[in-house]
Amino acid sequence: MLFERKSGLAELAKILTSDNEDLYEKLVKDLAETETSFRNWWSSMSVKYAWESADNGSWEIDFSDCNIYSNAGMIVLL
């Protein structure tokens, strides 16, 4: 849900201008809060499942099978 929200807000940011100052400020605030929540989710999941980081490593969610993959070949089932 956070990913979809973050993506939607990012798309809205592409078309919204600062001409509508109130809406623009709300978007910026919401985007920052959503980004923080998203990072916090990743952090809590990495602790819960003891994910290890690697140099130049990354983790990705495959929403079609709800698994988390690392570019090091590891798979985490949620």
- Compare 4 and 75 and report the one with higher pLDDT: 4
pTM of full prediction above 0.85: no
Q: How many percent of the chain have pLDDT more than 70?
A: 91
Neighbours of 37 (CB within 10 A): 14
Residue 76, helix vs strand vs coil: strand
Q: Across-strand partners of 21? A: none
CB 2 within 8 A of CB 41: yes
pLDDT number for residue 34: 95
Task: For 1-35, write each residue's pLDDT tens digit.
Answer: 888 999 999 999 899 887 888 998 999 999 999 99
Band (pLDDT 50/70/90 cuts) for residue 60 is confident
Taking residues 64-70, report their average pLDDT. 81
